[in-house]
Amino acid sequence: MITFSRFPPCALALSLALAAIAQARSSAGQSQDEAAARTLFLDGRRLAKEARYEEACKKFEAAKRLYTSSGLLLNLADCHERLHRTASAWAEFGDAAFAAAASGRMGDEAEAKRRQAALEGSLSRLALHVDAPLPAETVTRDGVPVDRAAWDSPIPLDPGEHLIAAEAAGRLPWSASVAVTEPGKIVTVEVPPLREALPTAEGGSTSPGTVAAEGATGASTATDDRARRGKTQRLVGILVGAAGVGGMGAAGILGLVARSQFDAAQAESGPARVPDSISSGHLADVASVVLGAGAAATIAGAVVWLTAPRAPVSVGTNGTSVYVAGSF
């Protein structure tokens, strides 16, 4: 025998009344959801008959969020199949078979299983293989985390482009876009080991996205600057080398003139001989200086040209000599 000795009669009556009200509200809310779902379902059926499958699928999906039945799932799966979303349709036919079995709708169950089996061979699948996975590494597919148990398993996907990404604390992120389009084929994506993030000046580590973006931009800018410096340096080398060759040519001419004056002075006699000898000597000294400067400039030009763009090189003169400064 059940007794209610611990509850006063008024309290028990109040509890039963509240429970009845809650149940009535729940039933009313459920009835409203079912009514809304039926309206959406009928709209979806109408759109599907007009071959407006994209709109029809949205109606069926909205109805599914309110109420689920085997008939609704069958129509949603058929709609997705017509849009070539084979993986979605395959999964929904399976859900429809389960819902039909639970409600005793044998006809719907048989139809759902038949349609699901027919799609089996045309499914496109994607398998993820993670090299050297980290304990806290997260891999996502189209922004949705992929359970570690699902790695290396060929999972059916709707045909199209899919974004695979991996990240972990203190590591640079990795991502790749892969096309999964061929019916009945398995595409395997290799997720490489994640590289360590570079430390910042403050002692922390840069955020993965910032490191990747700034690193790529910095490398590109550095390469462009390096190319420009190398081009300019090679041009300077050519100009300096050409000036050096010209200087050595001028020194040769001056040397010949000095030699001619010296020979003429040797053939002279009297007071004119001494000034002519001195003049030829001065001219020979000038030729020697010009020859040395030309040779130095030629060598400097060759060094500047050969080292571009590997080392910064500067060329100059202090008025009496040419110098080359740099690291090689």
Q: What is the pLDDT of residues 16-74, one digit of tens each?
A: 545 554 554 555 556 678 889 999 999 999 999 999 999 999 999 999 999 889 999 99
Q: Which residue has the higher pLDDT, 241 or 271?
A: 241
Average pLDDT over residues 248-262: 72
CB 41 within 8 A of CB 66: no
Chain-centroid distance of CA 58 in Å reads: 32
Tokens, residue 5: 């000795």
Q: What pLDDT band is residue 276 in, cutting at 50, 70 and 90?
A: low
CA distance 55 to 62: 11
CA distance 89 to 124: 12
CA distance 158 to 180: 8
Tokens, residue 239: 């100009």
Q: Per-residue pLDDT for 317 more than 70?
A: no
Triad 186, 192, 197: Cα angle to 5°: 150
Triad 276, 278, 282: Cα angle to 5°: 115
Q: Which residue has the higher pLDDT, 307 or 118?
A: 118
Checking DSSP bridges between strand 155-157 and strand 124-130, what pairing results, if any?
A: antiparallel
Residues in the chain: 328
CA distance 113 to 100: 10
CA distance 178 to 187: 9
Neighbours of 35 (CB within 10 A): 12
Sign of CA dihedral 135, 140, 143, 144: negative
Tokens, residue 105: 């709708």
Least confident of 73-82, 167-176, 220-229, 281-290: 220-229
Q: Per-residue pLDDT for 75 more than 70?
A: yes
Q: Quick one: pLDDT at residue 179? A: 94
Q: Quick one: pLDDT at residue 188? A: 94
The percent of residues in the chain predicted with pLDDT above 70, rounded, is 62
**DSSP tag of 195:** P
For residue 268, what is the enclosing H or E element?
none
CA distance 209 to 140: 16
CA distance 66 to 62: 7
The tens digit of pLDDT for each residue in 105-158 reads 999 999 999 999 999 999 999 999 999 999 999 999 999 999 999 999 999 999
Mean of the per-residue pLDDT values of the chain:
77
